[in-house]
């Protein structure tokens, strides 16, 4: 009979080990450890202590719905000696099992807290068993303390049977391994989350003009996702699904870590590493200086002073007006119409004389892109503005082919074109076609980076969420030209958050900050063009997600009234 009972307990122990190893929720795991320990020992109650990073023991879990003391028991005294005064600390420090048959007769340890607990809880502790939780590498991470073994006949407290100790010790070992594994998984998750945020922070730090975009978009996207969940548009069933979404939102712009800073920061058309308007201004200064010299030369050749000065003043006025026109074009604040292009080309054709060798001091890469000009060709007459072949960096054929095969989007044949006329002719804004692609290319880089990350099965959708935030419902987005039949609601939510953050940001070099009303109006125009989802836009407004974000990140003077009713009516017409 006894042999049969021992066999059943062993089978139960094996079953418990399997159940503990499968449990993912920490609180449930702690409860199971004590519950199984009570079941195996037929005891009245139990407490689980865990070791903290501060060299203390903390109360991790208790049975019988008893409250947990918010105190930590130090493992070491102030003088550095081991704290052997308490059963739990002794158990952990010495990795030894402690058995006490009668708490009130115990003299080895300070039992005052146990007796005090008996008085206030109504559960009088008589017998006590304390077992260390020792991991596979020999570390004691806590202690399992069981109270009052119970007589199977009358349910009264009795000492713990020595025969049960090996079994409960095995359970403690299983529990320690399960807790350690869960802790390792949690630490890996924390590390992974920290690395993701580190990348986002590094990208935001690269440019003051896009500061905190990578941090604000996830915050806004997560708030919006919760609102969509409440409205039945998203249906995340598990914490893993939320984790997938959070990771996707945090990594949505990870590819920007490869985007050159001078393009992210480009506030004028002629800006590369520096604003080349200064170089061009010097050419106008040379024209003005030459005109001034010509005035004196004319006077020396017999021209009346008044006439010479009049001609100079006319030239000076024209030069200043022409430079002001070029400078205004450089700002990129207004669209460039055909008449402006004609005037730009007229100014560009003006000649000036260069006397110094323009190949001196160039890097090897610059010299490789341009022919060597012979010193005998000086002085050289040049146009005031020009597009030269050395302004162009051609994209390697292999790279062009590779990108074209992977992504159905137009890939510029050149990596860069810094031609002066070419840049000043940009229709609107400050970015050339090549630079705009370089910025848009961040999503391609994101995809290629994320493709190299071995996401576990429960996080695989994170890549998709991060990769699709520039796609459109109408199929005109990038990089895959997906449409509403392919885009998931989580991806659409991140797209909404990404655009709204950009519209309300105060730190972009290429535009002024919009008021809240202007931002919502532009956002609605994207909905009307089937770029963004109408249902998500409706929840964005009705849930108050937009105003919560605006109050946190926009100056109060930029937060004006939004007529939500107007947009809800307009949305009905779209639907």
CATH number of the domain that residue 152 is part of: 3.30.450.40
In a domain, 266, yes or no: no
**Distance, CA of 499 to CA of 487 (rounded, Å):** 16
Tell me if 201 is assigned to some domain: no
Enclosing domain of residue 141: 2-184
CA–CA separation, 100 vs 54, rounded Å? 28
**Count of alpha carbons within 13 angstroms of residue 267, beta-carbon side:** 11
Q: Which residues pair with 62 in a beta bridge?
A: 47
Calculate mean pLDDT across residues 260-265.
82
pLDDT exceeds 70 at position 372: no
pLDDT in tens, 513-537: 899 999 999 999 999 999 999 999 9
- Judge whether 416 lies within some domain: yes
According to the per-residue pLDDT averaged within each range, which of 25-39, 275-289, 319-333 is highest?
Answer: 319-333
Choice among 54-63, 227-236, 261-270, 507-516 with the minimum mean pLDDT: 507-516
Q: From residue 316, how far is each of 270, 281, 348 by CA, in Å?
A: 24, 13, 17
Question: Do 24 and 132 share a domain, yes or no?
Answer: yes
Together in a domain, 250 and 292: no
Highest mean pLDDT among 34-48, 60-74, 351-365: 34-48
Q: Looking at the structure, do residues 446 and 414 belong to the same domain, yes or no?
A: no
Answer yes or no: do 15 and 126 share one domain. yes
How many residues appear in the chain? 575
Name the pLDDT band for 374 (thresholds 50, 70, 90): very low
- 185, pLDDT greater than 90: no
| pLDDT band at 539; cut points 50, 70, 90 | very high
Rounded to an integer, what distance in angstroms lies between the CA atom of residue 322 and that of residue 254? Answer: 43
No. of H helices and E strands in the chain? 22, 11
Does position 238 have pLDDT exceeding 80, yes or no? yes
Q: Is residue 289 assigned to a domain?
A: yes
Taking only the tens place, the pLDDT of each residue in 77-88 is: 999 999 999 999
pLDDT band of residue 7 (cuts 50, 70, 90) is: low
Percent of the chain with pLDDT over 90: 62
Among candidate residues 430, 464, 494, the one where a domain is terminated: 430
The whole-number pLDDT of residue 9 equals 65
pLDDT in tens, 385-411: 999 988 999 999 998 888 888 888 889
For residues 321 and 299, state if they share a domain: yes
100 assigned to some structural domain: yes
Per-residue pLDDT tens over the stretch 266-320: 889 888 877 788 888 899 898 999 999 999 999 999 999 999 999 999 999 999 9
User: What is the tens place of the pLDDT at every residue in 124-177?
Assistant: 999 999 999 999 889 999 999 999 999 989 999 999 999 899 999 998 999 999
Residues 294 and 418 in one domain: yes
Of 240-249, 252-261, 424-433, the least confident? 252-261
Q: Quick one: 134 and 153 in the same domain?
A: yes
Q: Does the residue 196 lie in any domain?
A: no
Residue 283 burial (CB count, 10 A):
18
* H or E segment and range at residue 140: strand 140-150
Phi first, then psi, for residue 82 (nearest 5°) are -65, 140
What SS3 class is residue 142?
Answer: strand
* pLDDT tier for residue 378 given thresholds of 50, 70 and 90: confident
Specify the 3-state DSSP secondary structure of 47: strand
What is residue 264's predicted lDDT score, i.e. its pLDDT? 79
Residue 511: per-residue pLDDT? 62
CATH number at residue 475: 1.10.3210.10
Domain boundary among the residues 397, 430, 463 is at 430
Q: Which of 430, 458, 481 is the last residue of a domain?
A: 430
Average pLDDT over residues 33-40: 90
HEC string for 375-388: HHHCCEEEECCCCC
Residues 327 and 354 in one domain: yes
Q: What is the DSSP string of 519-555?
A: HHHHHHHHHHTTSS-HHHHHHHHHTSHHHHHHHHHS-
How far, in Å, CA of 42 to CA of 158, rounded? 10
Residue 508's pLDDT band (boundaries 50, 70, 90)?
low
> Distance (Å, rounded) from C-alpha 409 to C-alpha 444?
11
Q: Say how many domains are in the chain.
A: 3
Task: Report the mean per-residue pLDDT for the chain.
Answer: 90
Cα distance from N-terminal residue to C-terminal residue, the chain: 75
Would residue 368 count as lying in a domain? yes
414 with 308, same domain? yes
pLDDT surpassing 80 at residue 31: yes
- Do 6 and 133 reside in the same domain of the chain? yes
452, 367: one domain = no
Say which residue, 182 or 16, is predicted with more confidence. 182
450/528 same-domain check? yes
Rounded CA gap, 522 and 503, in Å?
A: 8
In a domain, 199, yes or no: no
């Amino acid at each position: 009979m006894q042999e049969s009972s021992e066999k059943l307990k062993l089978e139960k122990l094996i079953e418990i080990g399997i159940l503990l190893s499968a449990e993912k929720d920490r609180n449930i795991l702690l409860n199971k450890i004590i519950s199984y320990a009570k079941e195996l020992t037929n005891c009245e109650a139990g407490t689980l202590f865990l070791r903290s990073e501060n060299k203390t023991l903390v109360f991790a879990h208790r049975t019988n719905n008893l409250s947990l003391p918010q105190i930590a028991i130090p493992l070491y005294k102030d003088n550095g000696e081991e704290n052997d005064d308490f059963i739990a600390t002794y158990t952990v420090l010495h990795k030894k099992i402690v058995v006490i048959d009668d708490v009130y007769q115990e003299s080895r340890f300070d039992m005052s807290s146990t007796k005090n607990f008996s008085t206030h809880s109504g559960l009088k502790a008589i017998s006590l068993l304390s077992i260390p939780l020792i991991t596979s590498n020999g570390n004691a991470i806590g202690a399992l303390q069981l109270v009052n073994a119970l007589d199977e006949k009358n349910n009264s407290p009795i000492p713990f049977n020595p025969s049960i100790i090996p079994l409960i010790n095995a359970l403690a070992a299983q529990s320690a391994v399960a807790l350690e594994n869960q802790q390792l998984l949690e630490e890996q998750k924390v590390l992974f989350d920290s690395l993701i945020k580190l990348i986002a922070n590094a990208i935001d730090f690269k440019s003051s003009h896009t500061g905190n975009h990578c941090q604000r978009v996830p915050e806004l996207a997560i708030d919006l996702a919760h609102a969509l969940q409440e409205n039945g548009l998203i249906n995340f069933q598990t914490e893993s699904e939320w984790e997938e979404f959070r990771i996707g939102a945090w990594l949505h712009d990870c590819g920007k870590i490869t985007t050159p800073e001078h393009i992210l920061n480009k506030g004028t058309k002629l800006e590369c590493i520096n604003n080349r308007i200064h170089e061009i201004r010097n050419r106008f200064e040379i024209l003005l200086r030459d005109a001034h010299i010509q005035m004196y030369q004319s006077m020396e050749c017999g021209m009346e002073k008044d006439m010479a000065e009049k001609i100079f003043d006319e030239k000076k006025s024209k030069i200043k007006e022409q430079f002001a026109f070029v400078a205004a074009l450089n700002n990129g604040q207004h669209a460039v119409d055909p008449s402006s292009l004609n005037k730009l080309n007229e100014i560009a054709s003006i000649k000036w004389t260069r006397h110094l060798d323009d190949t001196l001091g160039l890097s090897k890469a610059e010299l490789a892109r341009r022919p060597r000009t012979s010193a005998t060709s000086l002085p050289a007459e040049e146009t005031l503005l020009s597009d030269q072949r050395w302004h162009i960096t051609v994209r390697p054929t292999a790279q062009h082919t590779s990108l074209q095969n992977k992504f159905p989007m137009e890939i510029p044949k050149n990596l860069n074109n810094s031609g002066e006329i070419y840049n000043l002719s940009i229709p609107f804004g400050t970015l050339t076609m090549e630079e705009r692609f370089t910025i848009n290319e961040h999503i391609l880089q994101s995809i290629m980076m994320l493709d190299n990350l071995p996401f576990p099965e429960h996080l695989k959708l994170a890549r998709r969420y991060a990769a699709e935030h520039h796609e459109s419902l109408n199929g005109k987005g990038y990089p895959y030209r997906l449409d509403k039949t392919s885009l998931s609601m989580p991806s659409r939510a991140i797209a909404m958050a990404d655009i709204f953050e950009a519209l309300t940001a105060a730190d972009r070099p290429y535009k002024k900050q919009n008021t809240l009303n202007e931002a919502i109006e532009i956002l609605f125009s994207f909905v009307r063009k089937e770029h963004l989802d109408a249902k998500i836009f409706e929840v964005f407004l009705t849930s108050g997600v937009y105003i919560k974000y605006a109050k946190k990140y926009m100056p109060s003077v930029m937060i004006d009234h939004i007529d939500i009713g107007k947009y809800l009516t307009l949305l009905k017409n779209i639907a």
